[in-house]
Chain A
């Protein structure tokens, strides 16, 4: 394990994690809203936002899937050291993080069960940029409608069609994040 794995965590966990979680909560409650987070300085190429989400949410009880280029020794060590989360394949993951193309296929993740729809995976999608244009979002958390740049439309529509089962998404770019829960209706504009 190199030095990089040991650094890049929160300096003051209770307060930094609280602030970052508030941003994540706000994002999940208001799909499409872009929030800023800080705290984690993970090894490249993981973004600050994705790294911060993992520090806030992952622990030894939540297997994490590192997709594509993220599945590399420096990142594995960083994740293990700071969260204790075990690494996992797609099927066993509570959290999965990676670029959209690397995260696919979505069928491979847990969608929850009719009795326990909460037992589904949360995907953290690393994006080049996030902005409030693109797909049109409606549903809980949105007063009228909201725009958000998404990697595609069809997959999110298929995910919504399975409600109350389904995956929930954070989209991350740099220090910014937005969320797209399974309850959101997505349309191309």
Chain B
């Protein structure tokens, strides 16, 4: 993150604080409270048409807008990185409309909006993690009808999900779901954790508050801190979080989630941390991977 990016801009006079009007915020805030009261249940909300496309984080943006306070430090990541274009765009939106401070450092952020990742560094009690969710309904790929899936949740009828997972095992020898891996919350609602890799599933029980927003599908759901989250599995086929074998080429981490980078057209590839802040932090602390440089040099 450069100096310029972390500068606090004056809120745009043309917009209400954090863009949304107060009545819309009230409606979203009521939905958030009910979502926290019934963890894993998807609360319908009257999602507004935002000045960015559906599918690009309108749910997460509305949730963030409803929870942000003037003193917050916001971090926005997409695929674990602060500098992916959509993360940059959303961060700028809140700098402009809420005048809040932004940061790239996980530890400094009070609110983190994310798409597809949970940061590597454990989150703490004062933090809120807001997920952008494309399809909130974990049963949607098994049953396209909202009227049916709503009934299935009401009756706790999750047999279809287990059948699907078991069919995977019969065909592939293991459960063939690698991301958006379904979880059950406190033994009740089956929930889609958004398209995070299943590597991140064990982190879903955390100290921070987790809020999920799906704008186009008009749903909000939540996990209070320390909520019990179980990745669905079978006794003889227990859940295994997976990641690429190998270490980050820049910082040498063997435990972080890795992105694959193709480096030539002869099959050459390397792996780097998907969490850019985690990687930069390790390099600043002196860790060096096979392709990395000493601290300071590799950071743009």
In the assembled complex, A24 has its CB within 8 A of some CB on chain B: yes
Are the CB atoms of B22 and A164 closer together than 8 Å?
no
Flag the segment in B1-9, B34-42, B169-177, B257-265 that touches A.
Answer: B34-42
Q: Digit string of A94-136 for contact with B (CB within 8 Å is 1, else 0)?
A: 1000000000000000000011111010100000000000000
In the assembled complex, A50 has its CB within 8 A of some CB on chain B: no
Q: Digit string of A1-32 for contact with B (CB within 8 Å is 1, else 0)?
A: 00000000000011101110110111011110
Are the CB atoms of B67 and A115 closer together than 8 Å?
no
In this complex, the interface size class of chain A, counting residues with CB under 8 Å from chain B, is: 35 or more
Are the CB atoms of A56 and B26 closer together than 8 Å?
yes
The CA-CA distance from A170 to B201 in the complex, in Å, is 31
Are the CB atoms of B22 and A115 closer together than 8 Å?
no
Residues facing A in B191-246 (CB within 8 A) are 207, 209, 222-228
Flag the segment in B150-158, B276-284, B288-296 that touches A.
Answer: B150-158
Q: How far is the CB of B98 from chain A (nearest CB, A)?
A: 9
Q: How far is the CB of A132 from chain B (nearest CB, A)?
A: 16
Residues of B within 8 A of A181 (CB): 36-38
Q: Assess A14 versus B16: contact at CB under 8 Å? Given A57-B26, A168-B37.
A: yes
Residues of A within 8 A of B227 (CB): 140-141
CB-contact partner of A118 in B17, B26, B34, B155, under 8 A: B34
Q: Among B33, B155, B209, which residue has the most Cβ atoms of chain A within 10 A?
A: B33
Are the CB atoms of B41 and A118 closer together than 8 Å?
yes
The CA-CA distance from A139 to B228 in the complex, in Å, is 9
Are the CB atoms of A168 and B209 closer together than 8 Å?
no
Residues of A within 8 A of B228 (CB): 140
In the assembled complex, B31 has its CB within 8 A of some CB on chain A: yes
Are the CB atoms of B33 and A168 closer together than 8 Å?
yes
Q: How far is the CB of A49 from chain B (nearest CB, A)?
A: 15
Are the CB atoms of B17 and A164 closer together than 8 Å?
no
In the assembled complex, A59 has its CB within 8 A of some CB on chain B: yes
CB-contact partner of A57 in B29, B67, B69, B223, under 8 A: B29
Residues of A within 8 A of B68 (CB): 18
Residues of B within 8 A of A22 (CB): 67, 69
A-B contact pairs, 9 of them (CB 8 A): A13-B22, A21-B29, A21-B67, A24-B33, A25-B36, A59-B26, A114-B154, A118-B43, A143-B225
A residues within 8 Å of B by Cβ?
Answer: 13-15, 17-19, 21-22, 24-26, 28-31, 56-59, 61-62, 94, 114-118, 120, 122, 139-143, 163-164, 168, 181-183
